[in-house]
Amino acid sequence: MTAQPMKRAIVESGDGGLGLGIATFIANGEDLGPIIRHSFESGKPEALMQNLRSIVKKKEVEIEELCRLHYEDFILAVDELRGVLVDADELKGMLYGENSHLQEASADQLLKLDELLELYSVKKNVGEAITTLKICVEVFSLCMTCNNFIAEAKFHPALKTLDLIQKGYLRNIPLKLVKKVVARQIPLIKLHIEKKVCSEFNDWLVHIRRMAKQIGQASISQASSARQKGEEMRARQREAEGHSHAGPDEHLYALDLENTEEESALHFDLTPVYRAHHMHTCLGMEDKFRDYYYKNRLMQLNLDMQISTSQPFLESHQPFLAQVAGFFIVEERVLRTADGLLLESQVETTWETAIGKITSILEEQFSRMRTASHLLLIKDYVTLLGAAVNKYGYRITQLIEVLEKSRDKYHQLLLLDCRKQIDDVLTNDSYEQMVIKKEYEYSMNVTAFHLEHDDAIPDFPYVTSFSSSVPDVCRIVRSFIEDSVSYLSYGGLMNIYDVVKAYLDRLLIEVLNDSLLNMIYARSLGMSQMMQLAGNISVLEQACGMYLLHSAQLCGIPKRVAERSHSGLTARAVLKASQNAVYNALINLTNFKVDEFMVLLEEVNWIAEEAPDNANDYMNEVLIYLETLVSTAQEILPLEALYKVVSGAMSHISDSIMTTLLNDGVKRFTVNAVLGIDIDLKTLEAFADDKFDSTGLSDLGKETTFRDCLVEIRQLTNLLLSSQPENFMNPVIRQRNYGSLDYKKLAIICEKYKDSADSLFGSLSNRNTPQQSARKKSMDVLKRRLKDFS
Amino acid sequence: MANDGDDGQSQDYLFKIVLIGDSSVGKSNLLARFARNEFYPNSKSTIGVEFQTQKLVIDGKEIKAQIWDTAGQERFRAVTSAYYRGAVGALLVYDISRRQTFDSVGRWLNELHNHSDMNVVTILVGNKTDLKHAREVSTAEGQALAEAQGLFFMETSALDSSNVAAAFQTVVKEIYSILSRKVFQSLEQKKSELQSLSSGKAVVLQGEANQTSSGGRWCCSS
């Protein structure tokens, strides 16, 4: 079937121009609208209609021509088509048969195919399910891991797992229900972890508070051991200095095996703190935990700082201070190792607050204490506390200051205690020389205090120059020194020697010296006892050197340095002054005793008719007393004191006789009475000369002898017995022989002087010798001239 | 004495008693047994000084004993004088299983005499009688030393409580007895030497019985 293209030229008739244009338009397939519209608008449509009918006719002619040409081909084509139709029917039958065969053969296969397709669908679904379940399995696996970690309290990996679930899987969980459940559980688990960790941390808080006391005690024990080692070292040095030993160093250092148990307390476990801190950091709650830690520890500290009221502070202070020390040792460890959990400023602020409260408690307790040893014991523990916490970097200035402030209080209590002891010792002393029978006694009472210059042990029984109060006082003073050094040691002072000396001076001056003066002025001691007291004071004054050396030794100052030092104790001068006071007391006591005997002067017969053959009774008594006095004093008193006492006694006797002659008790006396006084004086002067020589006083080069003390009464007696008493008015003779006599006294006494011629019936006597007459005249002259003077 | 004699009739008594002796003789455990009826097998060394106040009843009077326990002095010398100051009684403890601690008794007596009133009532205590097979100091030796020094004497065991209370009571009773006599004599306006008040010999108590001491002498130097 082929269409034969025919090309014919169309001959145009009529409007050649318009028709050609329209035909071109139609051939080109262009739009004729505008042309048609133009035609109708211009009012000439007939021309256009005509042209169009022409074109139509032409076209119809062409079509008929074309149909006439192709008629034959058309008929042939139809015949050929009929043939094909038959072939097609034939083919159709064949296909139909084949199809039946195929259907029969493939029925089974078709069923299998359906199954296969179904299985593919199932496979796809299962694949999706498996993918979903795989994700879920991973999530669940992580959940189980997380649970295991939580069960084993491994919270950090649990938290890591939780994070992994949240960030890596949560959005991708295909099952909504599972997703919802997991999403809801994550914060709950985190909360659980936080509570668990907090619970563990709270348990740790309770545990560490209980442990704090042991930690503090262990640390303080270490400080104590270090101090003990230092003490032992210093003790060895003192021994070495004392022996001037230049041998090899015998210091052997032994391993310190005793403290292993104690040191284990210092290895406390901070793991719960680290864990809690880290967990809270992972949970994004570090600030919260930091705050929680700080507040809870602060509360614990406030509880620790409440001291027991049921127990005396003396017994509660050690656990109290150990508890606080332990607290701060733990805080220091946390600060160093817990990576920002604590700030240094926080620990310092807490420490300043705590130490302020401790010092406040100590001040209050110290102010209420009445026993020095209690103050000392607490001070020692406080200094150990200071040493322990200072090792961990805490400042202990306030502790040192509170101890410094209590120093005077402590020493006041010591002084009070010593005063009581010393008063007891002095009151209970018998003031008799000690008789030592055993070497042990000698060692305890003499050698221990270097009270004898000779270090050799004497034969026993041995009589000391002092009474029992002296070693007792030395013991008290030594204890005071030790207690003073104990308090001042390990405090803020580097050189405590000057302070110890100052307090020692106070003890010796305000306590010992005052007590001694009280004994001197109490009028409770007899003569021999007062002498012994004087001897004791002498020994105690010498003992000041021993006190200084002991103080220096305890303060760690070498002996040779202390010996070379020129600054001694003020107390030494004060005791020397007291020595003079006791000598004065001895003099007063002696004179008082002498007065008891001089009262007998009143019994002298001042108008005796005859000269006596022997000394008056009063003089005999005085001499017996003086004999005893000198023999006792010679054993106890130093020569200087002995001289003062006996000289005083002699002067007093002289004054007493003068006073008696001056008093109204004696109205008149005779030459015989004067002769009696002369005998008395000769006896006394003989005694004085003998004692002056026998006691060794003459060797001292004293210008005034005992006899010289009697010069006034001697000169008076000489004058009254002189054959020419008027010579007193001669300046040269007066200066030489009567220099001690006073005009007024002499006038009074001379008025009382009556010769026997003036007695009753005197004018009747004619027995006056020429010598007596001459003396009488001379005395009358003297009387008149003395009267003229007055 | 802890109190003035003139006020003795109206005041509560507080007696200071010190425990002295070498390290590890059992001073702290004696105190723990007496005061709290406790025993610590692995005692730590005492740091410095520790205290315990315990009440006793003697002749119907309630008496407080303030017992001072210290390290064996070598380790903590700073409180030596303060430790002894004001003490009216002392327990001088040695360990019967360590002869060296017994040989140190003389030194401890010197220490006591050096730092305290010579009239401190003292009892010599041989501790650890439970260590029968390890004994190195016989009872007779302890007794002889106590008699020579004018001390009371007892052997104790802080472990099994033997004689612990008796040792403390002996000291407190004697202190109270002396104080009572002092009060009586003060009332009578008399004075006598305390040393002459006591009579009899040092009392040696052994075994489990809590026997009461009928009297005895205390520490003196004659």
* Predicted local confidence at residue A19, as pLDDT: 63
How many angstroms separate the CA atoms of A650 and A706, rounded? Answer: 7
Q: Decide if pLDDT at A491 tops 50.
A: yes
Contacts of B44 in chain A (CB under 8 A): 221, 261-262
**B152/chain A closest Cα distance in angstroms:** 21
B53·A417 Cβ contact <8 A: no
Asked if residues A194 and A280 have their Cβ atoms less than 8 Å apart, the reply is yes
Average pLDDT score over residue span A201-225:
82
CATH classification of the domain holding B81: 3.40.50.300
Contacts of A221 in chain B (CB under 8 A): 44-45, 47
Give the tokens for residue A700.
């001292």
The secondary structure of residue B46, as a DSSP letter, is P
Name the pLDDT band for B213 (thresholds 50, 70, 90). very low
A444·B113 Cβ contact <8 A: yes
Look at residue B188 and tell me if it is in a domain. no
Q: Decide if pLDDT at A9 tops 50.
A: no
Tell me which H or E stretch contains B123: strand B121-127
Q: Is A441 within 8 Å of chain B by CB?
A: yes
Contacts of B109 in chain A (CB under 8 A): none
Q: Is A221 within 8 Å of chain B by CB?
A: yes
Name the pLDDT band for B202 (thresholds 50, 70, 90). very low
Determine the residue among B15, B42, B44 to mutate to test chain A binding: the one whose Cβ has the most chain A Cβ atoms within 10 Å: B44
Based on the structure, what is the number of domains in chain B? 1
Tell me which H or E stretch contains B127: strand B121-127
Average pLDDT score over residue span A658-683:
75
Q: In this structure, what is the dihedral angle of CA atoms A189, A194, A196, A200, given to the nearest 10 degrees?
A: 160
Determine the residue among A260, A317, A380, A477 to mutate to test chain B binding: the one whose Cβ has the most chain B Cβ atoms within 10 Å: A380
* Predicted local confidence at residue A249, as pLDDT: 46
A172 CB-near residues (< 8 Å, 6+ apart): A135
Q: Decide if pLDDT at A131 tops 90.
A: no
Q: Decide if pLDDT at A2 tops 70.
A: no
Q: Give how far Cα A454 sits from Cα of A450, A451, A457, A475, Å.
A: 9, 9, 8, 20
Instruction: Pick the residue from chain B with its C-alpha nearest to A231.
Output: B77
Q: Decide if pLDDT at B142 tops 90.
A: yes
User: Which segment, A84-88, A523-527, A758-762, B93-97, is predicted with the most confidence on average?
Assistant: B93-97
Residue B24 region by backbone torsions, left for phi larger than 0, else alpha for psi between -120 and 50, else beta: left
Q: Is B74 within 8 Å of chain A by CB?
A: yes
Q: Is B85 within 8 Å of chain A by CB?
A: yes
Q: Give how far Cα A18 sits from Cα of A21, A23, A48, A49, A58, Å.
A: 5, 9, 8, 12, 16
Average pLDDT score over residue span A368-390:
81
Name which residue leads in pLDDT, A281 or B2.
Answer: A281
Q: Is B76 within 8 Å of chain A by CB?
A: yes
How many angstroms separate the CA atoms of A650 and A591, rounded? Answer: 9
Contacts of B75 in chain A (CB under 8 A): 224-225, 228
pLDDT per residue as tens digits for the range A453-472: 666 777 777 777 788 788 88
A314·B51 Cβ contact <8 A: yes
What b/e sequence results for A153-187 when a residue is b if at least 16 CB atoms lie within 10 Å of its CB, and e otherwise?
Answer: eebeebbbbbebbeeebeeebeeeeebeebeeebe
Name all contacts of A563-566 with Cβ < 8 Å and 24+ positions apart: none
* Predicted local confidence at residue A523, as pLDDT: 64
* Predicted local confidence at residue B200, as pLDDT: 38
Name the pLDDT band for B184 (thresholds 50, 70, 90). low
* Predicted local confidence at residue A769, as pLDDT: 62
Name the pLDDT band for B72 (thresholds 50, 70, 90). low
* Residue whose entry in the numeric block shows the structure tokens 């003459």: A698
Identity of the residue in A227, A258, A475 whose CB atom sits nearest the CB atom of B45: A258
DSSP assignment of B176-206, as one string?
HHHHHHHHHHHHTT----GGGT--S---EE-
**B79/chain A closest Cα distance in angstroms:** 7
Contacts of A440 in chain B (CB under 8 A): 221
A227·B78 Cβ contact <8 A: yes
CA-closest candidate to residue A377, choices B90, B92, B86, B2? B86
Q: Decide if pLDDT at B116 tops 60.
A: yes
B76·A228 Cβ contact <8 A: yes
Q: Decide if pLDDT at B186 tops 50.
A: yes
* Predicted local confidence at residue B73, as pLDDT: 42
Tell me which H or E stretch contains B64: strand B61-70
Average pLDDT score over residue span A649-672:
77
* Predicted local confidence at residue B144, as pLDDT: 93
**A486/chain B closest Cα distance in angstroms:** 5
Look at residue B213 and tell me if it is in a domain. no
pLDDT per residue as tens digits for the range A568-617: 777 777 777 887 787 778 788 778 778 777 777 766 777 776 677 777 77
Mapped onto helix, strand or coil, the DSSP state of residue B95 is strand
A318·B50 Cβ contact <8 A: yes
Q: Is A698 within 8 Å of chain B by CB?
A: no
Residue A90 region by backbone torsions, left for phi larger than 0, else alpha for psi between -120 and 50, else beta: alpha
Average pLDDT score over residue span A667-679:
74
How many angstroms separate the CA atoms of A616 and A622, rounded? Answer: 10
* Predicted local confidence at residue B217, as pLDDT: 39
Q: Decide if pLDDT at A154 tops 70.
A: yes
Strand-pair category, A462-467 with A433-436: antiparallel
In terms of residue numbers, what domain contains B58?
13-178
Size of interface A-B (CB pairs under 8 A): 76
Picking from A391-405, A606-620, A635-649, B64-78, which range would have the lowest pLDDT averaged per residue? B64-78
pLDDT per residue as tens digits for the range A264-298: 666 687 888 887 888 888 878 778 787 788 878 88
How many angstroms separate the CA atoms of A535 and A639, rounded? Answer: 11
Name the pLDDT band for B94 (thresholds 50, 70, 90). very high
Name which residue leads in pLDDT, A169 or A769.
Answer: A169
Give the tokens for residue B201.
């010999």
Name the pLDDT band for A448 (thresholds 50, 70, 90). confident
Name the pLDDT band for A772 (thresholds 50, 70, 90). low
A655 CB-near residues (< 8 Å, 6+ apart): A712
B82·A483 Cβ contact <8 A: yes
Contacts of A489 in chain B (CB under 8 A): 78
Q: Is A225 within 8 Å of chain B by CB?
A: yes
* Predicted local confidence at residue B6, as pLDDT: 35
CA-closest candidate to residue B193, choices B202, B203, B201, B182? B182
Average pLDDT score over residue span A685-693:
78
B114·A475 Cβ contact <8 A: yes
How many angstroms separate the CA atoms of B149 and B105, rounded? Answer: 10
Asked if residues B152 and B123 have their Cβ atoms less than 8 Å apart, the reply is yes
CA-closest candidate to residue A183, choices A195, A166, A167, A168? A166
Look at residue B183 and tell me if it is in a domain. no
How many other C-beta atoms are found inside a 10 Å radius of the C-beta of residue A666?
17
A762 CB-near residues (< 8 Å, 6+ apart): A756
Q: Decide if pLDDT at B124 tops 90.
A: yes
**B15/chain A closest Cα distance in angstroms:** 14
Identity of the residue in B45, B81, B113 whose CB atom sits nearest the CB atom of A483: B81
Average pLDDT score over residue span A537-552:
79
User: Which segment, A41-50, A118-127, B10-19, is predicted with the most confidence on average?
Assistant: A118-127
Write down the mean pLDDT value for chain A. 76
B44·A318 Cβ contact <8 A: no
B45·A221 Cβ contact <8 A: yes
Write down the mean pLDDT value for chain B. 71
B87 CB-near residues (< 8 Å, 6+ apart): B16, B17, B18, B68, B116, B117, B120
Give the tokens for residue A730.
């001669």
* Predicted local confidence at residue A705, as pLDDT: 72
Contacts of B77 in chain A (CB under 8 A): 228, 231
How many angstroms separate the CA atoms of A406 and A487, rounded? Answer: 10
Give the tokens for residue A413.
């209590």
pLDDT per residue as tens digits for the range B159-168: 888 788 899 8
Asked if residues A280 and A340 have their Cβ atoms less than 8 Å apart, the reply is no
Asked if residues B143 and B110 have their Cβ atoms less than 8 Å apart, the reply is no
* Predicted local confidence at residue A224, as pLDDT: 79
The secondary structure of residue A511, as a DSSP letter, is I
B177 CB-near residues (< 8 Å, 6+ apart): B215
Average pLDDT score over residue span A152-166:
80
**A475/chain B closest Cα distance in angstroms:** 7
Q: Decide if pLDDT at B76 tops 80.
A: no
Residue B47 region by backbone torsions, left for phi larger than 0, else alpha for psi between -120 and 50, else beta: beta
How many angstroms separate the CA atoms of A647 and A644, rounded? Answer: 5
Instruction: Pick the residue from chain B with its C-alpha nearest to A216.
Output: B47
Contacts of B85 in chain A (CB under 8 A): 372-373, 417, 479, 483
Name the pLDDT band for A755 (thresholds 50, 70, 90). low
Residue B48 region by backbone torsions, left for phi larger than 0, else alpha for psi between -120 and 50, else beta: left
Q: Measured on CA atoms in the order A520, A526, A527, A531, is the torsion positive or negative?
A: negative
How many angstroms separate the CA atoms of B206 and B219, rounded? Answer: 21
User: Which segment, A2-6, A326-330, A772-776, is predicted with the most confidence on average?
Assistant: A326-330
Name the pLDDT band for A251 (thresholds 50, 70, 90). very low
B79·A479 Cβ contact <8 A: no
How many other C-beta atoms are found inside a 10 Å radius of the C-beta of residue B200?
10
Instruction: Pick the residue from chain B with its C-alpha nearest to A430.
Output: B193
A231·B79 Cβ contact <8 A: no
Contacts of B80 in chain A (CB under 8 A): 482, 486
Residue A728 amino acid letter: F
Q: Is B115 within 8 Å of chain A by CB?
A: yes
Instruction: Pick the residue from chain A with its C-alpha nearest to B75.
Output: A228
Picking from A396-400, A780-784, B181-185, which range would have the lowest pLDDT averaged per residue? B181-185
Residue A224 amino acid letter: S
Average pLDDT score over residue span B30-42:
77
Picking from A4-8, A282-286, A397-401, B195-199, which range would have the lowest pLDDT averaged per residue? B195-199
CA-closest candidate to residue A508, choices A545, A539, A549, A477? A477
Name the pLDDT band for A376 (thresholds 50, 70, 90). confident
Look at residue B206 and tell me if it is in a domain. no
CA-closest candidate to residue A225, choices A18, A391, A69? A391
Name the pLDDT band for B153 (thresholds 50, 70, 90). very high
Q: Is B192 within 8 Å of chain A by CB?
A: no
* Predicted local confidence at residue B15, as pLDDT: 85
B78·A258 Cβ contact <8 A: no
